[in-house]
A and B are shown apart, each in its own frame.
Chain A
Amino acid sequence: MYQFVTGPLAWLAFGVFFIGLIVRTVLYIKGLNWKMDRVTYGVNTKYGVKGAFRSVISWILPFGTHGWRSHPVFTVITFVFHLSLLISAIFLPAHNYILKQKWGVSLITIPEAVGDIMAIAVMIAVVLFIIRRIALTEVRIITTAYDYLILLIAVAPFVTGFIAYHQFFDYELWVILHILSGELMLIAIPFTKLSHFVLFFLSRIQIGMDFGIKRGGMKNSGFVW
């Protein structure tokens, strides 16, 4: 079983993940239309690139925008969540051990304790996200079951991984569940809202180009996000 989930299934998951994201990117770009979007992507592109750059950089910096600054608590949770999720997924020693075993490559790693803390952080963040979805009327009204499902998909690998790592229950079982849930997330990314893994950047680049080219980027020192 372990062999299967770390072997063919892992190949499948990563395959779907990478190919899926490439397809989404290609489709997104192909679907851009200068006339319908009312942005001349191909003319004055220099301004567009500048606008895109500002747009992405401002938003990936914590507190880099008016938006982030006006929601400080949410901003902290969001950044802790995303950074913990990405860093622990990529740089956890255990993950790199498997990488090395299977494909002979390995990245730098973080200490296990840090990984542990990050897993806890992700879980806490998800709990806070859920509380926020229920507590705040402006979020509750737009929340659907789908949004909880997405949170569940995202947190599942951390819950299972945490249990397995600390061997609270049957290690063998929980490690397999952990791997399965991780693979589920990889597969889900291209097909669900988790596609914002790449679409965040594409969408931000697009709106950045819009503001950079058409909406004033050629008239001032750049949009203040």
Chain B
Amino acid sequence: MAEGKLCNRKPINTEEELKELMADRGGRKYYEEMESLDVDQDALWSSIRKTFLSRLKTWIEICARCGMCADSCFFYLANDKDPTQVPSYKIQSTLGEIVRKKGKVDNEFMRMTMDTAWSKCTCCNRCAIYCPFGIDMGVMFSYVRGLCFSQGFVPWEMKIGSGMHRVYRAQMDVTTEDWVDTVEFEEEGIEDEYPGMKIPVDKENADILYTLNAREAKHYPEDISEAAILFNLAGENWTVPSEGWEETSLTMFAGDWEGCKMQVENVYDAMDRLKPKRMVVTECGHAYRATILEGPYWAGLKSGKTPIESIHYVEWVAEVLRSGKLKIDPSKKIKEPVTLQDSCNYIRNGGLREVTREIMSYLAEDFREMTPCKDHNFCCGGGGGLNGIGRYHKQRNAGLKVKRDQILATGAKFVIAPCHNCWDAIRDMEGIYKIGIKWSFLKPLLLDMAIIPDHFKPEEE
């Protein structure tokens, strides 16, 4: 059965394979090879028979085709109510067909399925809450992505992402040495600024184990400094692990379930090794979902919970502001109108709508909700890996319109986006549509507003 050199059914497990794939500029050769990649129909069907159980089966079968999901989907709204963007249509014309045809689908169909699964659905799960039967098309597209991945029909960047996790246990090529180096470098920087502040690595029995997003280590290490300063200001006993510090999972976006398991087990091992009381994860949405909500299931933990209690950064922030461990200078509260981007992955799918509002009550004087908001908020437009897939930039950019209009309607020109993907999507939105907004994570804002205790103030000479 024909497979390409770059585009094939085998996941990437070595650095050489990864480098070879990355050397293919823009994935040109990769996508070319994909056009002649054979579908292993037997494997596809046998995998469906094993994994397509009553929940999914029922969803595909009983869909009443009522169309109530249509305007729950931001892609449908952003594309002028294009009927091919109706969630039910999208899933029935892909997964529905594969099932009805018992896996007997061809290459062209699989490529269409791939395009649908990655460029027409960000797995934000909003349709699930507008379907009377509770049919969750986000969950199903996540399942479809798994089928696509196993057949080799996966966007180039996602294949690379999955390979990164398999090779480096991080979404980018950041090795353990790189990571520890970066931490030391940042520690020097903050010690200069705040005498005595540390970034403890591999400290055992800490109260907090902090894990983050590899891009912070790779490109924006100041994010690590900010987190470190805030933990120190709040007087936390915390640490970062030298191994198992990566919280994100492009493997989840890619549908590489085996890779997902490897990745989260790496983090859970760090928990076992360092025995911290809790884990706090950075301001990232999908990472929270991957490592904390879905991870335990990939790793087969029957409790459905991570080995130690794990909380999102916003929960930690709400906690320290509430308890007064971190004090905000009231005169520095945000005075201009400000709105909040609810990340699908930890608001709708993680239940954190209330703590985020609590934070806003401490930080902002004129907080404006988007409409809709909280559990019902729209995806930023860049979720599910879409931000990073070159093949679908056009579709992504079109999808941003919904969020743009939502932000404009609030009248606020400042968006707090405590999620890497949302942050990126909003930044790109400003780049494309130029609506004159600014945006920020929580950390820099908190640092601006925090009252620095005397013992951290630099000694003046």
Closest chain A residue, CB of each to CB of B300:
A35
Q: How far is the CA of A39 from the CA of B134 in the complex (A)?
A: 15
Cβ contacts A to B, 6 pairs, < 8 Å: A40-B303, A74-B68, A136-B67, A138-B76, A193-B64, A204-B134
Closest chain B residue, CB of each to CB of A221:
B354
- Closest Cβ–Cβ distance, residue B85 to chain A (whole Å): 9
Q: How far is the CA of A38 from the CA of B84 in the complex (A)?
A: 29
B76, A207: Cβ atoms closer than 8 Å: no
In the complex, B280 has a CB within 8 A of chain A = no
Closest chain B residue, CB of each to CB of A197:
B62
- Closest Cβ–Cβ distance, residue A64 to chain B (whole Å): 11
B53, A32: Cβ atoms closer than 8 Å: yes
**B-chain residues with CB within 8 Å of residue A74 when the two chains form the complex:** 66, 68
- Closest Cβ–Cβ distance, residue B245 to chain A (whole Å): 24
Contact surface of B with A, Cβ cutoff 8 Å? 51, 53-55, 57-59, 61-68, 70-72, 76, 81, 83-84, 86, 88-89, 92, 128-136, 293-294, 297, 300, 302-304, 315, 346-355, 372, 374-376
Contact surface of A with B, Cβ cutoff 8 Å? 27-40, 43-44, 55, 59, 65-68, 70-71, 74, 78, 133, 136-144, 147, 193, 195-196, 199-200, 202-204, 206-208, 210, 213-221, 223-225
A67, B86: Cβ atoms closer than 8 Å: no
Closest chain A residue, CB of each to CB of B73:
A138
A219, B350: Cβ atoms closer than 8 Å: yes
A142, B351: Cβ atoms closer than 8 Å: no
Q: How many A-B residue pairs have CB under 8 A?
A: 153
**B-chain residues with CB within 8 Å of residue A225 when the two chains form the complex:** 129
**A-chain residues with CB within 8 Å of residue B300 when the two chains form the complex:** 35
Which of these, A29, A34, A66, A208, contacts B304 with CB under 8 Å? Answer: A34
**A-chain residues with CB within 8 Å of residue B62 when the two chains form the complex:** 193, 195-196, 199-200, 203
**A-chain residues with CB within 8 Å of residue B81 when the two chains form the complex:** 137-138
Q: How far is the CA of A68 from the CA of B130 in the complex (A)?
A: 8
- Closest Cβ–Cβ distance, residue B129 to chain A (whole Å): 6
Max chain A CB contacts within 10 Å: which of B68, B89, B135, B315? B68
Which of these, A37, A65, A136, A140, contacts B53 with CB under 8 Å? Answer: A37
B302, A67: Cβ atoms closer than 8 Å: no
Max chain A CB contacts within 10 Å: which of B92, B293, B351? B351
- 7 closest A-B pairs by beta carbon, nearest first, are A216-B351, A31-B54, A207-B134, A40-B304, A219-B351, A139-B67, A138-B70
With A28-B58, A31-B55, A206-B55 known as contacts, the answer to whether A142 contacts B86 (CB < 8 A) is yes
Q: How far is the CA of A216 from the CA of B294 in the complex (A)?
A: 12
**B-chain residues with CB within 8 Å of residue A203 when the two chains form the complex:** 55, 58-59, 62, 133-135
A66, B133: Cβ atoms closer than 8 Å: no
- Closest Cβ–Cβ distance, residue A85 to chain B (whole Å): 14
Q: How far is the CA of A196 from the CA of B10 in the complex (A)?
A: 40
